[in-house]
Amino acid sequence: MIEARRPMIELLNLHRFFGNTRAVDNISFEVYPGQVMGYIGPNGAGKTTSMRILATLDQPTYGDAYVDGFSCVDDPDRVRSRLGFMPDYYGTYSNVNVREYLDFFGRAYGLRGVTRLKAIEHAMRFTKLDELADKPVNALSKGMKQRLCLGRSMIHDPAVMILDEPAAGLDPRARIQFREMVRELSAAGKTLLISSHILSELAEMCDVVAIIEQGKLLAVGSVDDIEKAQPGRNSVQVRVLSGAEGLAAWLTARGGVFEMDVSGDRLTFVHDGDLAAESALLKEIVLAGFPVVAFGTRKKTLEQVFMQVTEGRVQ
């Protein structure tokens, strides 16, 4: 008998109210071992509130959240030992260098002796801060401080990591390097929940996404799955050796296509048909004599899916 996988992160009918404001309104989803979930929504949607509940920094009005099977409400100490939390804002300390900063958090997590020293060295090596071990924390650049906060969050080797806006304010190189570190953590079996407004970055890092607005979960799953679940037309792109303008005129006269756009040898348009209709359309185009070299459904980006799912509402 094969044992079913247990989620490493589970939100179960989670609610958090502040007076009349429903910051988190009946949210449920699961994240499994080794998965990276992108948690996206507009400002004030409830992302940080639910992340703080997972990090045992806040308590739900009702419902619960679980990390590695332990309740954030009933077993906060066990949750903290299994979870690393990187908040969107974190403090630095004067007159403390990188090694001392990590040593402080290693001690706070109860690491002792050689175990703590090895954990510090691993965190510095992973975040590429080992050459800056003696540099004062308040003299680090924004990107290096982000790395240091990541190192602090992983110092006790947690199975689950919660990262709230980890790439905010980073330059392009620093964002790429941070993305590579996230991939390494996932490859090592860590489960990650990442909130970010940089959706193009999340699309490259995440296995699944959860979209939240006004405290409510609107969609959860892979970008492809969420896109398929949304009503709307399919976007198709065609590339021809020549005669793009002629093909555009032919398609317009044929009917059934909309929002035609021609750019060089490429045409993009939308239509209401399914994959079978696309196959039939391709056959018609070829039989009409147009030299097609590429034809296919154009996948929507995470930004496009987000705009389709959400309505821009705030509370």
Phi-psi region of 28 (alpha: psi -120 to 50; beta: other; left: phi over 0): beta
The CATH number fitting domain 9-221, selected from 3.40.1190.20, 3.40.50.1820, 3.40.50.2300, 3.40.50.300: 3.40.50.300
Q: At 217, which amino acid appears?
A: L
Distance of alpha carbon 31 from alpha carbon 38, whole angstroms: 10
268: which residues sit within 8 A by CB, 6+ positions away? Answer: 235, 236, 237, 238, 259, 260, 261, 298
Angle among Cα 197, 201, 207 to the nearest 5 degrees reads 105
> Which overall architecture, per CATH, does domain 229-304 show?
2-Layer Sandwich (3.30)
pLDDT of residue 5: 79
Q: Which residues contact 76 (CB under 8 A, 6 or more apart)?
A: 56
pLDDT by residue for the chain (315 residues), tens only, comes to 344 579 999 999 999 999 999 999 999 999 999 999 999 998 889 999 999 999 999 999 999 999 999 999 999 999 999 999 999 877 777 789 999 999 999 999 999 999 999 999 999 999 999 999 999 998 998 888 989 999 999 999 999 999 998 887 778 888 888 889 999 999 999 999 999 888 877 888 899 999 999 999 999 988 878 876 666 567 788 999 999 999 999 999 988 888 888 999 999 888 777 778 888 889 999 999 999 999 987 767 787 778 878 776 656
The answer to whether 23 and 9 are in contact (CB under 8 A) is no
Look up residue 130 and give its two tokens. Answer: 């080992």
For residues 113 and 296, what is the distance between their CA atoms, to the nearest angstrom? 59
pLDDT for 233 equals: 61
Q: Do domains 9-221 and 229-304 have the same CATH topology?
A: no
Contacts of 170 (CB under 8 A, 6+ apart): 142, 143, 146, 178
Break the chain into its structural domains and give their ranges.
9-221, 229-304
Residues present in the chain in total? 315
Q: What is the pLDDT of residue 304?
A: 73
The tokens of 52 are what?
């703080």
287 phi and psi, to 5 degrees? -65, -25
Query: Which uninterrupted H or E stretch holds 279?
Result: helix 275-287
Beta-carbon neighbour count of residue 12 at 10 Å?
16
